Amino acid sequence: MESQHNVIEIRDLYKSFWSGSSENEVLKGINLDIKNGNIIGYIGPNGAGKSTTVKILCGLIDDFEGDIRMMGMNVRTDAMEIKKRIGYIPENASLYDSLTPMEFLSFLGEMRGIEPGRVTERAMNLLRIFEMQKNANQRISTFSKGMRQKVLIISGMIHNPEIIFLDEPLSGLDANSVIMVKEVLTQLARDGKTIFYSSHLMDVVEKISDRIVLIDKGNVIADGTFDELKAQANDESLEKLFTRLTGSTGLSDRAEEFIHSVEK
Ligand SMILES: Nc1ncnc2c1ncn2[C@@H]1O[C@H](COP(=O)(O)OP(=O)(O)OP(=O)(O)O)[C@@H](O)[C@H]1O
């Protein structure tokens, strides 16, 4: 593997959304250095600020405070160059329904400057890995949620990016496909790619991440390897540590209250 260096540097990242005169402070000073070849699990409860962070890093939100460098470039001034070298896989996106996966992936590949023959070959190989080669020329409008998600995952990787951002990428995928994605991510990291994996679920992340960054209400509240966090957790599961750190206590009482309210 090539030597390790910081591919993402986040300094004092603040982001607020405004609704009229009321401010929702979503990111409250995030600082992170991320090395190439690492899989980062960016975990936190709903509304913690994960997607906002990912969108800022991918250049989809540009009004923020702080400094971000990726692969040595500044996201504010070198956004175009950065976008060519990263992949973004959102939880769901509007795919072009009237296209087939082959047409969609070819379009994306060519937009990113990959030679057409090469895109077709690469797209077919990636579709085959997800057992979708038979659907290569079928309209996306006829696809199930999981099939769409697979096309989205492929579309974020078709240009062989150096950093791959995944925001809840596994929704809708069946067990085998989840294993497949985990395996693909592990191998990509072994090849020196950096994976930034955002999720509100601990289970998948704790198995593949080199480092887990836990965020809550816009702050990093824990950061370390699986073993380091496990040591902090004093034998409780990471799931429990997560619940404790994010202050989600009384969940069983709330569940009971929910059931009572439904049954009333
Ligand atoms: N475009 C927007 N306009 C206004 N508020 C927004 C916008 N995008 C996000 N927010 C707010 O920012 C906060 C964080 O949202 P974000 O999507 O980053 O959370 P998350 O950690 O990804 O949550 P989840 O696990 O539910 O996806 C929420 O309060 C959300 O309502």
- The CATH code of the domain that includes 104 is 3.40.50.300
Q: Is residue 116 part of a domain?
A: yes
- Cβ–ligand 1 distance for 26 under 6 Å, the answer yes
**Closest atom of ligand 1 relative to the 52 alpha carbon:** 18
User: In which domain, by residue range, is 64 found?
Assistant: 6-263
Q: Is residue 36 part of a domain?
A: yes
This complex has an ipTM of: 0.97
Reported as a single tens digit per residue, the pLDDT across 50-61 is: 999 999 999 999
CB neighbour list of residue 249: distance below 8 Å, 6 or more residues apart: 243
Q: Is residue 29 part of a domain?
A: yes
Structurally, the chain folds into a number of domains equal to 1
- Cβ–ligand 1 distance for 200 under 6 Å, the answer yes
In 10 A of CB 202, how many CB atoms? 21
Reported as a single tens digit per residue, the pLDDT across 211-253 is: 999 999 999 998 998 888 878 766 667 777 777 777 766 666 6
Q: Report the percentage of the chain scoring pLDDT > 90.
A: 47
Split the chain (264 residues) into runs of 10 and give each run's mean pLDDT: 85 95 95 95 92 95 95 93 92 83 90 86 88 93 89 90 92 83 88 92 79 93 86 70 70 68 69
Q: Is residue 1 part of a domain?
A: no
- For a mutational test of ligand 1's pocket, the pick from 15, 22, 43, 52, i.e. the residue with the most ligand atoms closer than 8 A to its C-beta, is 52
Q: Tell me how far the alpha carbon of residue 66 is from its chain's centroid.
A: 21
**CA separation for the pair 258, 37 (Å, rounded):** 44
Q: Is residue 235 part of a domain?
A: yes
